[in-house]
Amino acid sequence: MGIITSLVKLAVAYPETLLSLVSFVVLFFYSGIRRSRVPRNWPLLGMFPSVLTQIHRFYEWCVDLIPIVGSTFLFKGPWFSGMDILITIDPANINHIFNANFVNYPKGAQFLEIFDILGDGIFNADSDSWKSQRKAVHSLMSEPRFRRFVDVFDVCTKIY
């Protein structure tokens, strides 16, 4: 009972806050009624509310978005979070990022801090270190013994 009276006092003291909250809720549900499958870019919140409404089926939702938004899509996060993410499934873009111009896309210190558990391996390497590790991995994967191992591993996974 105390919570309800507190909310009533808050609404009386700050009616503009209540009005803005009600307006936001109405607009949010109105946008849901139209059933636009493309995430709406809200002021301040970005596309984050769309993610929250689809969190129970997030991966399926992402797959459903691809035919609608195209093969490359900029997801805008809340403005204060710096969470803008470029999503692409275009093979030309992926080749550009991972092969042709890898040097132009450094992972940065924050990535290294988050994925510190991976050590200094190929997944955390940048620039010249990445090139040398990629050559070593490529030569290993082109080895006939490695290819036989992959075939054996594939058979074992099908058995178990």
Task: Give the pLDDT confidence of 12-59 residue by residue, as tens digits.
Answer: 888 887 788 778 777 777 665 555 678 888 888 888 888 888 899 988
Low-confidence ranges of the chain (pLDDT < 50): none
pTM for this one?
0.56
Q: How many residues does the chain have?
A: 160
Domain locations in the chain as residue ranges: 101-160
Looking at the chain, the number of H-run helices and the number of E-run strands are: 8, 2
